[in-house]
Structure 1
Amino acid sequence: MKEFLLLFSILTSVFGFSQQKEFTISWESSKLFGTASSQIEIPSFDKNHFSFTRNTGLQFFAQWEESSYIDENSVELSQVTYQTIAVADLKELPLQNLPKAPKITLQNAIERGNISAYLEITPIIKDQGVYKKITSFSVTYQYGNNPNRSGASTQEITNSVLRTGDWHKFYVDKTGIFRLSKSFLNSIGVNTNVDPRTIKVYGNGGSMLPKANSEFYPLDLQENAIRFVGESDGVFNDDDYILFYAEGPTGYNADSNTNINAYSDKAYFFVTTNGGFGKRIQPLNQPTGDSTLQIDTFQDYQFYEVDEFNIAKIGRRWFGDRFDIENEKSYSFEFPNLVTSEPASVKVLVAGVSETAGSNMQVLLNNNLVSTLNFNPIDDPVLAYGRTYSDDVTLNSETLTVDLVYNNNGNPSALGYLDYISVEATRQLIFEGTQLLFKNNQVASESGIAEYTLSNASNVQEVWDISDKYNVKTVVNSDQSQTLSFKDVAGSLKTYITLTSLEYLQPSRDANTSVSNQNIKGEIFLNSQGVFEDIDYIIVAHNNYVTQAERLAQINREQYNLNVKVVTLNEIYNEFSSGNQDVAAIRNMVKYVYDNASSPGRRLKYLCLFGDASYDYKNRISNNTNIVPIWNSVESFSLTSSFISDDFYGFMDENEGNVNNGRLDIAVGRILANSPQQAKELVDKIEGYYAAEAFGSWRNNFLTISDDVDEAWEKVLQNTTDAIGNEVTDEKPFMNVVKIHSDAFQQESTSSGERFPKVNKAVKDALDVGALVVNYFGHGGEDGLAAERIFTKVDAQDVRNLCKFSLFVTVTCEYTKFDNPQRPTAGEYTYWNKEGGAISLITTTRQIFVTVGVSINEKLGEFLFNFGTNESISMAEALRLTKNDPSIVGINQRSLVFYIGDPAMKLAFAKPEVRLTKVNDVNLSEFNEPIKALDRVKLSGQVYDTAGNFLDNYNGILTATVFDKEIDRQTLGNNGVTENGSLIILNFKTLGETLFKGQATVTNGEFEFEFVVPRDLGIPVGPGKVSFYSKQNNILDDKSGSNFDLQFGGINENAEEDNQGPVITLFMNDENFVSGGITNEQPTLLAKLQDENGINTASGIGHDITAIIDGDETNPFVLNDYYQSNVDDYQNGEVTYPFRDLEPGLHTLTLKAWDVYNNASVSQIEFVVRDKDEELVISNVLNYPNPFIDYTEFWFSHNSSDVLDVSVQIFTVSGKLVRTLNGQTSGGGKVTSSLSKDIVWDGRDDFGDKIGKGVYIYKLKVRSNRLNKQVEKIEKLVIL
């Protein structure tokens, strides 16, 4: 693959209000472009201005800051120069959609009031059969008005009609005139013992809300004009009723290219008697002049559409009839009184899925073949192909039969699908006995007065003008004449419907019809004192999740002093979308809050969508998780072009509403909870992230993981990952970067394919130790990371980094494709793990182009790690700024990257600064001797605040880690991939080996600690690193720091002799364990180590701290990273290591450790693993002390990490019960201790009296409610 160059220059000149910019593009050779699994070679230019998707094709884009808003309609293209380009040089660029002339757009890109211009142009055209590429061009444009000023969707603070009164709701499922009887209103709870003239109907119909911010939609429920038959006497009699027009959830929607509301099959309406008299239908004000247009025909639109299948389980499009063995289907449409001289518009949308040969769908109209729609065989990332037949045809019959015949070309697994068929035909305006909805398209394009003539109208009482559905007007056929004529003003499309007593539609109701008073718009800005207060953060939650959402809100109030409001979906829908589920209703509520801040600087910052999401908005699939709906693209076939996005909720400006070229104004995050219990567990994790137990030196760790190189282009994966690690090292030197390049480990061939078992272990061990951020870049999918499965779903569930939760950055295809409830992903399991895994993720849900992944990874670190500043922003805000950055390529794909988690949460960086001040009591600036192996070293330091002030009141505990010199390493080239004849190898640097890790007391801002340098220190002299982390006593505050001034190397030839290895004492789970005791499958090794010169953790060859289980020396557990010396005592320390999934049965563990002089010691311990999910086992039952006088504890070992119910019954030797003690084991889930001593006794009976001396019998009962099992054991005790 050849590299490319682009010269991009912009010259600006100002002539009055006109602006001009000139662009030059220098084209060079093509490049590979695509995802990790599917790539094509296309012409290319500078990545900073390069955009390509399979839908939009190749685009040149540019962004620049502006001081004023541009007039988006004023852009003009000029001075375009071209070069011809040979077809061969176009490579695999799709040619079918290349324009004849350049297409150019210029838009305002507004980010929280900051203005930029965004330009797109098609750089390749096809002019009269000749392909040309643009080499330079100019654009001129003018400044215009603020598009947000007086915008259609910008609303001032107001109150909702729902704030007062008694409200009830019902729904309709089709469009037409409905009848509301007294009995129906009573059934939904409406008080009909009122003056019926006060009864009102509110509702906005069943259409989907506009996605574009600029399109108007009512901010609140609107009152509908109704006809109340019998209200004039002021009494609601039994035979009185209401007639009103209701727009149902069906009807063509161009934005979604469907006839069915994607979000709801119901259109809700609301009834109240609050206030004065209600709105009633008024007569149509007919113009008095002569008609200029005679209308006796109308366009009848009919469709067939059923939503049953989402072919690829992605996108907004659903399909109905499926063609398989039954490959032919027929559909009939009736058009009475057809005007055969007018063509009918027929549209058929179908899709096909075939994995080998292509297939096709034949379209026949009244038995005449009119089209054969061909489907290519699918190929990743395209999972289906859609085709459309659309044409104007002549119909000679009132019946149109559409036949579809699917040809699988001999592939029995191939499938065809029908999306919808629509037909619009012209009919004579003749009433046929049922409600007739009619419109004439010609009226919209004509001026003057239109006169409508409706024939066969004797049964038509009225014609309603429903063009304004809230203010219906009527024309009464008072004499029941056969022909009804009326006039209306032409110039806009008008819609009418006939009213006849022969047919009224009937509404429906849910079980719960009562609507509580609410007033989001009027009250959301009010604080507890009723005073306006700007909102920082909104949490949108389902009603069942409100308790946990409120917990999250309170956490953010306390942690960041944010004004957080929780709003329920039900309230949003009632107030912003007439009770119907709709993603735009959520966006409109958010925009209302954003727009009404007291000043631009106080606008809404964060939005949390508290709940899981699904591609199925209507619960058609089992175990659906449509808790808080997500925006879905209309494209539903390609894993690169079809995507979900929460960015939709963060575009606040008038020219936005799509998810392509806008600038995000709000940082959005999602809590992926699909049950209230899971919501609690996730909020528990968030709470734990800020807890005292979470403060530790792990916060200084940054873990990078890269995929290996299977093809030459993949070197960019490990190169990018390595560069990210190096940049963090340079910009934030207090961070300790751990690099796991897969190709630096030995690859192994197995029956399941190539694997990296040591990478699997290295990743899990690094997570157990703890890392503030984990960044992986490479291949990935729903099942895990890399084709070699270096981190799988199982691994994600097994990680046990409790209180050391990481941010996972995985910009890799579908790692967290969370919108398919039937296939949970590795990313979801990483997040759901309640005892480990991720606190949040910056992750992808679809296949992402490699160039986009590189671009986002490169820019994200700058914002995430706050380069150049100590002021941190939230993780979601870092992603928002990254997506908005002009350097991000593939702007259409940026929405594939999600933030999962609390959007206000900041990374738990320790603040600066801990400083090294002295070495061996010599000022650091004066110390210039190298530190040698076996030297006894004393390091001293001080703690400062961010302003550089010494903190003489700072008291706490310091963790210090001393690293040897950086190590030069290289990858192995396991797969033998070459480029230009050379094996692709990455040379990279890592932190040096750990020479010492220990703790020291910080007193009044000062500390010191000693250690002996291991003999395994690298001999050459060079700079090492001292890493500091400290946390204050009794205050949740921590500091970090680092130093690179010390030189390490050589050996102290005069060091004291030491020939004695360390003392090792082993336990499982806790220090009460006795060798041979029982544990569950995931016990924790606890090893106490003591040596007069300290323990070696420098990873010299053969000198690691290792654990061997059952003599398997080929798979040792290397525990250097799990050792830490005690506070102010380098001679004593401990190893804590959590084992995973040990087999049930007896095990022998052998631990070997070395002191810094390389003297070794070995110790063993035995333990019995019992499966906690199969049986509950207790052993070692005793009471201590025994005998006793007035205090004893009841001890027993068990194999469960659950909270267990414990009962102790104490009997005399004759069998009389004298005391019953009840309690529970401590821990549960978070503690793996196998020893319980939670029940104590003071030697008194149930009445509190002291019992006599002697021997007693006690029965210990232990019960697991989860397993529904109980065990018991009888022992003796003696009272003195």
Structure 2
Amino acid sequence: MKKLIAAAALLLNVYLVHAQAPTIIREQFKWSEKEEGVLVAGAVVPHLQFKGGVSSSEHPSLQFFIRRFPVQSYGRLRVEVANARFEPFEKGPSPDDSYLQEQLQFETSVEYSREGYFGKVAFAPVVRRGNRFERVTDIELRIYLQPEPSPVAFRGPTSGPSVLSDGLIYKIAVNKRGIYKLTYNFLKNELEMDIDNIDPRKLSLYGNGGGKLPFFAGEERIDDLAENAILVMGEEDGSFGPNDYILFYAQGADKWVLSENTGQFVLSQNPYDDQNYYFLKVSEGNGLRIQDAPSPGTGAYTSTSFDDYARLEQESVNLFHEWVKAQGSGQSWFGDHFKVARQYNYDNAFSFSGLIPSEPAILRASMALRANVRSRFYIDINGETLESEEAGSVPSVDGGGDNTTVYARRATLNDTVQLSGPDVSFTIRYPYPQGVTDFSEAWLDYVQLNVRRALRMEGAQLHFRDRRSLGYPATTFRLQNAGSNIQVWDITDPLSPARPSLTRNGNQLSFNAGTESLREFIAFDGNQEFPVPEAAGQVPNQNLHGIGNTDMVILYHRDFEQEALRLAQHRSDLNGLSIELVEVEQVFNEFSSGKKDPTAIRDFARMLYLNSPGFRYLLLFGDGSFDTRDIYGLGGDFIPTYQKESFNPVEAYPSDDYYGLLTGDDPNDPLSGSLNIAVGRLPVKTPEEAANAVDKIIHYDSDEKTMGDWRNRLVFVGDDNDSSPGNFDLDHYEDADMIAEELHDSL
């Protein structure tokens, strides 16, 4: 009987879900009678405008109707047109005409905020029927919600206090992957630890590995810091002597990953930091130590060769910083410039000892090309000429009107090549696309090779993996040229290395490993001069995960601490706000394992938003820069900005909105969704600028002299044109005047 009642209740719930009343939207469109123009791809095209319309960078000649409304849960939206009236109209051709169809095209989404779930519908109220265009005059929509499970992006962190909240914490930095050594001398003199009075069994290492943080909040990541397994030699006696040491595996700031789409290993470049960081902790509990790997049994496959890779990449040029008409932006950096010189030779750019010549190598390269016709680049390697895909043209390369159109196009090359020896040289060419001298130019992004090598010990440390072992329950790996000092760690999980059981036969070393998933190993000489990390020093205890309910966070750079404190006190006294002061380095320590990363700030704000009901204001106290790694040596990156566009100057801007978009569920767009909190920034560069900014804020808030009628005045500011004479003028002050006139008429 209970089962019957439960089944009936379930059916009733299903019925209610599908029987939910639709959201009704009715709208009358008031179209502008005055035809305005907008610059698209270097040409002026009609801009279709209506009252309340929202412009789109993706379809700049169109305006969109957007409506946001509450819904009961997460899910998908289905839009029905209950009634609509259209009228024909005349318009000139536009690149956006291909977007228009015979029926209205609806874009929908469901967003989450503290207030609940909200649906959003957007559409351009124009259709194309044959060669005729019609626009909507009035419409009635019925929008139905089809519930679905909430994505991971809406779930909050689950860990407790930060591991940095207690114990003695010391920070170290590495610049590449590999096994590092911490000696008695390093701990005592470089890190300034009281190592003589520390039980080494109480030492723990924390860090989250390499690579930048994923921008999509729904993608899995480590909350706080993970403990790493380490090897501590000589800890058994409870003291750390001059001959004792620590070995640990570290990843660099970048990260190699296997692409599921291409089957190639590709480098995920970190655009924010050149170093990776780890934290050595002294606490009451015993630390995590490297263990022996479990034995999987006899190998069904024997691996005597492995996949290797290397990449040539010069991160020295930001396209927009070098261009007089723009400012630096984006995450893509480039190297050699192909303009006066149209080719460069790269002698012995790669060296693969034990390369197997009979195995084809996979070469991938990328360049930014700038030409007013379609063009490509070429690589001459080992007697072969490889050519890239064609890159599209750009509307202007000679300076006219090009500050509103795409500046360059990316071209990639992906091909196989037979290499004849371990040392690899090649030439990259970007000939004049039209065969004559023109304004074209190009910049090298990277050249990358995937090769097969004999599994033979070379050098002090050797990373290896074998894709051909995938799918076998177990594989026997046979490493040649392996002397008695060679050790092997399984670093498939780089945070928890393990030691496989080794069998030695002369200079051949064998071991078995389970290979139903891809395994990664490192072989190393135990007697080598191991690399030593850089000592960053002791870190005070911190616990951002323990912040309680707060209204506002002032995130400041240490240079501006005193002024941040003064502003916090003023806001607390005047507005009664509960304010947390947080130094930006603390956010990096706790949310990105010490690395500079804008997403760490976003994740910190997201944690507060999900766990602290009152949190609604975030103030960034310090300027930011496109150059987070200070490649140009300009400084000024006190609190990083989020920037993504590297080719289109119109879209190349810093967006602090990124820090307030806390519940977006689009894995492809980091700036999607609605702002969940208010985000502001004081872009100060010096303590003097910081003091002036705080002085002005306090003055405006508290001095009676500021209580004038200016507070009821609106000022509109617009830029004048940046184009060359004879080209379309982008006089934005005219736009500002138009908005001011429309607002004046509506008041």
- 1:363 corresponds to 2:346: no
Q: Distance in 2 between matches of 1:605 and 1:334?
A: 54
> Equivalent residue for 1:251?
255
Secondary structure of the equivalent of 1:380?
helix
| 1:628 maps onto 2:644 in alignment | no
| Amino acid of the structure 2 residue aligned with 1:423 | L
Give the corresponding residue for 1:350: 367
2:285 partner SS: coil
Query: 1:414-493 to 2 correspondence within 5 Å?
Result: 415-441=441-467, 446=471, 449-456=473-480, 458-459=482-483, 461-479=486-504, 482-493=507-518
* 8 Å CA contact 1:171, 1:507 repeated in 2: no
| Change over 3 Å in CA distance of 1:227–1:150 after alignment to 2 | farther
Counterparts of 1:330 and 1:139, CA distance in 2: 61
Aligned residues: 681
CA drift of 1:262 comes to 1.3
Which residue is 1:518 aligned to?
542
Contact 2:40 2:60 in 1 (8 A): no
Q: Which moved more, 1:180-189 or 1:538-547?
A: 180-189
Show CA shifts across 1:874-912 (max 9, x none).
xxxxxxxxxxxxxxxxxxxxxxxxxxxxxxxxxxxxxxx
Q: Secondary structure at the match of 1:330?
A: strand
Kept in 2, the 8 Å contact 1:293–1:451? The answer is yes
Kept in 2, the 8 Å contact 1:147–1:654? The answer is no
Out of 174, 178, 184, which is 1:176 matched to? 178
* Distance (whole Å) between structure 1 residues aligned to residue 445 and residue 132 of structure 2: 35
Deviation at 1:405, TM superposition (A): 1.6
Deviations 1:679-722 (A, max 9, x none): 00010000100223334432454145587999899976544311
Q: Secondary structure at the match of 2:377?
A: strand
Q: 1:700 to 1:118 in 2, by over 3 A?
A: closer
Contact 2:204 2:287 in 1 (8 A): yes
Q: Does 2:692 correspond to 1:677?
A: no
Q: Secondary structure at the match of 1:640?
A: helix
How many Å apart are 1:50 and its aligned residue? 6.8
Residues 697/202 of structure 1: CA separation in 2 closer, same or farther (3 Å cut): closer
Question: Could you tell me which residue of structure 2 aligns to residue 271 of structure 1?
Answer: 280
State how far apart, in whole Å, the 1-side matches of 2:59 and 2:307 are: 33
Aligned partners of 1:596, 1:676: CA distance in 2, in Å?
A: 33
SS at match of 1:220: coil
- The match for 2:725 is none
AA in 2 matched with 1:364: D
More strand by share: 1
Query: Among residues 322, 336, 341, which one is paired with 2:337 in the alignment?
Result: 322
The residue aligned with 2:575 is 560
The amino acid of 1:351's aligned partner reads A
Letter in 2 for 1:569: V
Partners of 1:695 and 1:262 in 2: CA distance: 44
Matches within 5 A, 1:1116-1265: none
Deviation at 1:333, TM superposition (A): 2.8
Does the alignment pair 1:235 with 2:252? no
Q: What is the 5 A alignment of 1:964-1003?
A: none
Which residue of 386, 407, 410 corresponds with 1:384? 407
For 1:522-561, what aligned pairs fall within 5 Å after superposition? 522=546, 524-525=547-548, 534-561=549-576
Report if the CA contact (8 A) 1:202-1:269 is conserved.
yes
Matches within 5 A, 1:553-702: 553-597=568-612, 602-633=613-644, 635-653=645-663, 655=665, 658-699=669-710, 701-702=712-713
- CA distance in 1 between counterparts of 2:24 and 2:353 reads 60
Give the aligned partner of residue 897 of structure 1. none
Local SS of the residue matching 2:404: coil
Report the 3-state secondary structure (helix = DSSP H, G, I; strand = E; otherwise coil) of the residue aligned with 2:246.
strand
The 8 Å contact of residues 371 and 389 in structure 1, kept in 2 or not, is answered as no
> 2:601 and 2:50 mapped to 1: Cα distance?
38
8 Å CA contact 1:177–1:504 kept in 2: the answer is no
Question: Contact (CA 8 Å) 2:159, 2:224: kept in 1 or not?
Answer: no
Cα deviation digits, residues 279-303 of structure 1 (max 9, x gap) = 1111112334x65655544332311
2:226 is the alignment partner of 1:210: no
Aligned to 1:188: 191
Shift of 1:244: 0.9
Cα distance in 1 for partners of 2:557, 2:35 equals: 47
Could you tell me how far 1:644 is from its partner in structure 2? Answer: 1.2
Cα distance in 1, alignment partners of residues 148 and 67 from structure 2 = 18
Bigger relative contact order, structure 1 or 2, given CA contacts below 8 A and separation 6+? 2
Matched, 1:283 2:292: yes
Secondary structure at the aligned position of 1:631 is classed as coil
Residues 493/62 of structure 1: CA separation in 2 closer, same or farther (3 Å cut): farther
Output one character per residue of 1:628-659: Cα deviation in whole Å (capped at 9) or x when no partner: 111111x2122212221001111222626844
Q: What secondary structure, in the 3-state scheme, does the structure 2 residue paired with 1:592 have?
A: helix
Q: For the residues of structure 2 that align with 1:461 and 1:234, how far apart are their CA atoms?
A: 28
Q: CA distance change for structure 1 residues 71 and 425 in 2, over 3 Å: closer, same or farther?
A: farther
Could you say which residue in structure 1 is the equivalent of 2:57?
A: 53
Shift of 1:621: 2.7
> Measured at CA, do residues 654 and 351 of structure 1 come closer, stay the same or move farther in structure 2, by a change above 3 Å?
closer
Q: CA deviation at 1:91?
A: 3.3
Structure number with the higher helix fraction is: 2
CA contact (8 A) 1:367 1:401 kept: no
Looking at structure 2, the residues matched to 188 and 55 of structure 1 have their Cα atoms a distance apart, in angstroms, of 56
* Offset from partner CA, 1:953-1007 (integer Å, 9 cap, x none): xxxxxxxxxxxxxxxxxxxxxxxxxxxxxxxxxxxxxxxxxxxxxxxxxxxxxxx
Deviations 1:164-189 (A, max 9, x none): 22222221100111122211122211
User: What is the DSSP-based 3-state SS (H/G/I as helix, E as strand, rest coil) of the residue aligned with 2:698?
Assistant: helix
State the Cα distance separating 1:495 from its structure 2 match.
2.2
**TM-score, normalised on structure 2?**
0.79
Does structure 1 conserve the Cα–Cα contact (< 8 Å) formed by 2:154 and 2:663?
no
For 2:491 and 2:476, locate their aligned partners in 1 and report how far apart those are by CA, in whole Å.
15
Give, as a single letter, the amino acid of the residue that structure 2 aligns with 1:574: N
**Contact 1:188–1:509 (CA<8 Å) still a contact in 2?**
no
Is this contact kept in 2: 1:350–1:417, CA < 8 A?
yes
Task: Say whether the 8 Å CA contact 2:37–2:47 is kept in structure 1.
Answer: no
Task: Quote the residue 1:720 is aligned against.
Answer: 739
Contact in 1 for aligned 2:209/2:495 (Cα 8 Å): no
- 1:57: Cα distance to partner? 11
Deviation (angstroms), 1:521: 2.0
Q: Which runs of 5+ in 2 are unaligned?
A: 1-13, 83-90, 260-265, 321-327, 722-727
Counterpart pick for 2:316 among 283, 299, 308: 308
Q: In 2, distance between residues paired with 1:105 and 1:465?
A: 47
> CA separation of 1:663/1:481 partners in 2, compared to 1, >3 Å: closer, same or farther?
farther
Equivalent residues in 2 for 1:736-1135 (5 A)? none
Structure 1 residue 216: deviation in Å? 2.5
Q: 1:713 to 1:39 in 2, by over 3 A?
A: farther
User: How far apart in 1 are the matches of 2:318 and 2:144?
Assistant: 45
Consecutive unaligned residues of structure 1, counting only runs of 5 or more, are 1-13, 80-87, 526-533, 730-1280
Could you tell me which residue of structure 2 aligns to residue 167 of structure 1?
Answer: 169
CA-to-partner distance for each residue in 1:93-115, whole Å, 9 max, x for gaps? 497x999x999975422233432
Larger Rg: 1 or 2?
1
Q: How far apart, CA to CA, are the structure 2 residues paired with 1:295 and 1:166? A: 44
Residue 298 (structure 1) aligned with residue 306 (structure 2): yes
Secondary structure of 2:500's aligned partner: strand
The 1-side partners of 2:443 and 2:405 are apart by: 16
